[in-house]
Chains A and B, each alone.
Chain A
Amino acid sequence: MTSWAMLESTVTLLARGALVSLWLALASLATGTGLAVLLMAPAFSRFGLARRAYRLFVWIVRGTPVLVQALLVFYALPALDLRSGPYVAGVIVLTLYLGALIAEVIRGGVLAIPRQQWDSARSLGLPPGALLRRVVAPLVIRYSLPAYVNVCVMAVKASSVLSIISVWELTFAAREIIERTLAVFSVLGLAAAFYFAMCFGIDRLGRHVERRLTPGDFAGERT
């Protein structure tokens, strides 16, 4: 950094990149959570084939690097004649990736519901809709919130990978500035600080929500 003006423009540029990163993460978390909820249908299906298809999907998404998925979608979308650009490709990739992760989180939450809860709900004769809304959903949210917060942090970190498929976000902005100024340590250090602030902030916020949502006498097991 040679001057204050340069430092100022660097910080502004990185802050704009950080906003894009955050936006990418939040948008993909929203769509990914939606996908995960839909995935619960095959995950808890009566049909073995549907359950197996779900396992296969999760295995493939979790067994391959996000970067490979990103490159695949980035190159495959134009081949399918969808001229969408890197942002759409980026959100699609993160949606699939986070969707698979969140689906496993929710599935774990459902599996953690004690047997007695199911039994008592059944003995009360709750209809399926009420069972889901009044018994399953509140418990699953409490059980899976810690893991879900982790996935939210991973979303911000995973968005950095999209810089490689030319999505302009924090990491991309940092590289751009480095190529012009060679101020590697200060620029990437600042980028790291922005990432840290976002991830740490999400983590703290998540823990706060967790405490608010968990009543003092909640008997569930904490993980």
Chain B
Amino acid sequence: MLKFQRWLEVYGAGYVDGLAWTAVVALVSAAVAVGWGGALLGVRLVGGRPGARAVDAYVQLFRNVPVLVPIYIIYFGFPLVGLAWPAVVCGGLALVLQNGAYISEIFRGAHKAIDRVQFDSAKSIGLSAWHTFRKVTLPQVIVYSLPALGNQVVLLLKDTSLLSAIAVGELTMRAKLLTEQTGAAYEAFVVVAALYLALVAVFEVGFGLAGRALRWP
């Protein structure tokens, strides 16, 4: 126990740092991915048949390729075409591209769940397309998709661990470094696993609260 205390004093700061990186990368990527997923839904809705086809192809592509591949393509490939972005931006972009695909499918399901009659009603009271989207479509899409969205964000959170493969200093990377420094291998990863569980629990509670707050009266 004393040994553990000493260990915590020495290495605790690294973990806090890594935890902060993981949380920030996950939150920012999730927010951008939700925007991207919404944009893809927009293309599907207003783009007609070619728009829907293009979005379908995009979604199929990202659904059937492991996220590690786009991470490597962006991280190793973009500098070759003159885009030398920091590793965290490359990794975050890959996470956004893949999760955006999943989220657009979630939004699509939620959009389908809205009763068609509501769009007719909106038209009959003279709402413009934009107003219909803002006041009728969007609020319901958000509420219907919230549970699935929460799941997806947790998956994204876990996938941020893959950014350790491109040297982003997040939680898993810290544990790897600690393992190399101390040789205490599985202690480091047990602590990291516990921290991920805690983060996942926080995210789940957050989405649960949001879901309750937004539920229809």
CB contact between A68 and one of B64, B68, B165, B172 (< 8 Å): that residue: B172
CB contact between B185 and one of A79, A153, A156, A191 (< 8 Å): that residue: A79
Q: How far is the CB of A172 from chain B (nearest CB, A)?
A: 10
Contact, CB under 8 Å: A72 / B189: yes
CB contact between A171 and one of B63, B66, B185, B193 (< 8 Å): that residue: B66
Contact, CB under 8 Å: B186 / A76: yes
Given the interface pairs A72-B193, A79-B185, A182-B80, the reply to whether A203 lies near B64 with Cβ below 8 Å is yes
Q: How far is the CB of B106 from chain A (nearest CB, A)?
A: 14
Classify chain B: how many residues form its interface, as a range: 35 or more
Q: Tell me, in angstroms, the Cα distance from A189 to B154 when the chains sit together.
A: 28
Contact with B along A50-69 (1 / 0, CB 8 A): 00000000011001111111
Number of interface residues of A (CB under 8 A): 39
B161 lies within 8 A of chain A by Cβ: yes
Contact, CB under 8 Å: A75 / B77: no
Contact, CB under 8 Å: B185 / A75: yes
Contact, CB under 8 Å: B73 / A188: yes
Contact, CB under 8 Å: B172 / A71: yes
B103 lies within 8 A of chain A by Cβ: no
Q: Is the interface of B mostly helix, strand, loop or mixed?
A: helix
Contact, CB under 8 Å: A184 / B76: yes
Determine which residue in B68, B161, B179 has the highest number of CB atoms from chain A within 10 A of its CB, and name it.
Answer: B68
Determine which residue in A67, A153, A160, A182 has the highest number of CB atoms from chain B within 10 A of its CB, and name it.
Answer: A67
Contact, CB under 8 Å: A199 / B65: yes
Contact, CB under 8 Å: A157 / B161: no
Q: How far is the CB of B193 from chain A (nearest CB, A)?
A: 5
Can you offer 26 A-B residue contacts whose CB atoms are under 8 A? A59-B197, A63-B197, A63-B201, A64-B193, A65-B162, A65-B196, A68-B189, A71-B172, A71-B176, A72-B190, A79-B185, A79-B186, A157-B67, A159-B66, A160-B66, A161-B66, A164-B162, A171-B66, A171-B68, A184-B76, A188-B69, A192-B65, A192-B70, A195-B65, A195-B69, A199-B63
